[in-house]
Amino acid sequence: MYKTFSEIKVALEKGRTVQDILQKYLDNIKERSDLNAFLEVFEESAMKKALEVDEKIKNGNAGRLAGMVIGIKDNICYKGHKVSAASKILEGFESIFSATVIDRLLAEDAVIIGRLNCDEFAMGGSNENSAYGAVKNALNEDYVPGGSSGGSAAAVAGDLCTVALGSDTGGSIRQPASFTGTIGFKPTYGRVSRYGLIAYASSFDQIGPIANDVADIALVTEIMAGKDEYDSTVSSKEVPSLSISPLKEKLKIAYIKETLDTDGVDPEIKARIEDLVNCLRADGHELIPVSFSYIDQMVPTYYVLTTAEASSNLSRFDGVHFGYRSADAKGVEETYIKSRTEGFGAEVKRRIMAGTFVLSQGYYDAYYTKAQKVRRLIQDRTNEILKQNDFILLPTTPSTAFELNAVKDPIQMYLQDIYTVQANLSGNPAISLPIGKHSNGMPFGLQLIGKHFGEKELLDTSAYLMEFC
């Protein structure tokens, strides 16, 4: 099977066609349908695109992604195809436009194979909150793949596509990458357009790729990135070539002491990271322990702010304009109430209500305003560390993947984000790299946080670490 784009390019050079490659992935999807990774396979449009790309290859004018097969999280719009954010509230909705990232990938001749299951409206850390059933981990089907981009991670880990797109609001790309032994990358906030991404929390959301190879992550990110007239939050900074280059000098990396000196982190994950720190030191790199005193405040701050934004963003899903409408509703008020009650799942309703509460009169300053101030402190401390160091190193997750239905308490589920939310609160780019396998047989990741718009340096270092590890 083709795990990386470089393998696909070799196959194409040997005479295989894009149709052949696509068919192999389609066969795999059917064989592994029990993973529930795909909500819909775009077999017809994908095969049409594959034929078109094969013709371009013959004519010598194919794009940079010719032969790459990409799955997209079910909250990214693709014109003429359904998109539901894995929610009943958007049942049957077909997008009338494509997200900017989709247009850019198609322009370089990528083949979009289908839409991938996720936690409803990207709210969850296990992919058990989808209206269309839980996704299973491709490495062990008794375990969750992580969330909210669990379908994306499971599809890459299960060889169902070359690369998958996810969205990362508080770790939703990096956490499932850690749980599935894949690489998950969240670019700097504002590096990649959010136009066509169904919003959860607009000041946190960022589209990014999951893959088996850092070079594939770099290529896809470079093509997706850059200014976009449809998204005013995208930076106009020029996007450099992200092609992987060898390191030219030794690294100076800060690692956060509090992430390792806690009972909350699995001992095997802690030992593996400490071993890596020592190995890097022995190789001449500078590894510096730093303190980050806001660790305990990060998850509460994240959930106050993201639920507030979700309360606003999800108000448009009301059973009137599009999507699900209750058949039993009579009158305007009942249409709103019953459609939203029946259309949204329990976790989405929980977050909408929490967000509405923190924005309400009498509580706004106590919660929302205070959380914004703490967010600024987290940003400032993160930037302060990165002024003196190249990167920040920490675990991606405190544990490996857990078994399906094992975590019932919402608070325990929210704490899965404890090491990933920092990069979203501060807007920095971050990546999860698979660095070990636990005695329980499941993989786990190392996380690196880079400087704002420092994707090139972060990806070069990630490629080095993948070889070094």
The upper half-sphere exposure of residue 153, i.e. CA atoms within 13 Å in the direction of its Cβ, equals 39
User: Rounded CA gap, 158 and 443, in Å?
Assistant: 14
pLDDT at 195: 98
Distance in angstroms (rounded) separating the CA atoms of residues 131 and 85: 9
3-class SS shares of the chain: helix, strand, coil, % to 5 = 45, 15, 40
d(CA 317, CA 176): 27
Tokens read off for 428: 């920095």
Structure tokens at 158: 């299960």
User: Tokens 């699900």 belong to which residue?
Assistant: 324
Q: What is the pLDDT along the chain (469 residues), one digit of tens a residue?
A: 899 999 999 999 999 999 999 999 999 999 999 999 999 999 999 999 999 999 999 999 999 999 999 999 999 999 999 999 999 999 999 999 999 999 999 999 999 999 999 999 999 999 999 999 999 999 999 999 999 999 999 999 999 999 999 999 999 999 999 999 999 999 999 999 999 999 999 999 999 999 999 999 999 999 999 999 999 999 999 999 999 999 999 999 999 999 999 989 999 999 999 999 999 999 999 999 999 999 999 999 999 999 999 999 999 999 888 889 999 999 999 999 999 999 999 999 999 999 999 999 999 999 999 999 999 999 999 999 999 999 999 999 999 999 999 999 999 999 899 999 999 999 999 999 999 999 999 999 999 999 999 999 999 999 999 998 6
Of the residues 49, 73, 136, 451, only one is catalytic, namely 73
CA 221 to chain centre: 13
- What does the pLDDT read at residue 1? 83
Q: How far is the C-alpha of 54 from the C-alpha of 26, rounded, in Å?
A: 17
Burial status of residue 278 (CB atoms within 10 A of its CB: 0-12, 13-18, 19 or more)? exposed
3-state SS string for 416-440: HHCCCHHHHHHCCCEEEEEEEECCC
Residue 459: which of 225, 172, 166, 187 has the closest Cα?
Answer: 187
Q: Which residues pair with 72 in a beta bridge?
A: 115, 165
Q: How far apart are CA 190 and CA 205, in angstroms?
A: 9
Model confidence, pTM: 0.97
Active site residue 148: yes
State percent of the chain over pLDDT 70: 100
Query: What is the reported pLDDT for 98?
Result: 98
6 assigned to active site: no
HSE-up of residue 132 (Cα within 13 Å, Cβ side): 28
Q: Check if 172 is active-site.
A: yes
- For 160, 233, 258, 429, 454, the CA distances from 191, given in Å and listed in that order, are 27, 9, 29, 9, 10
Residues in Cβ contact with 456 at an 8 Å cutoff, skipping those fewer than 6 apart: 240, 241, 242, 245
Strand partners, 278: none
Answer whether 355's CB lies under 8 Å from 312's CB. Answer: yes
Round to whole Å and give the CA distance between 449 and 355.
28
Given the residues 148, 178, 311, 432, the one annotated as active site? 148
CA atoms within 13 A on the CB side of 165: 35
* Catalytic choice (84, 172, 311, 426): 172
The string of pLDDT tens digits covering residues 47-73 is: 999 999 999 999 999 999 999 999 999
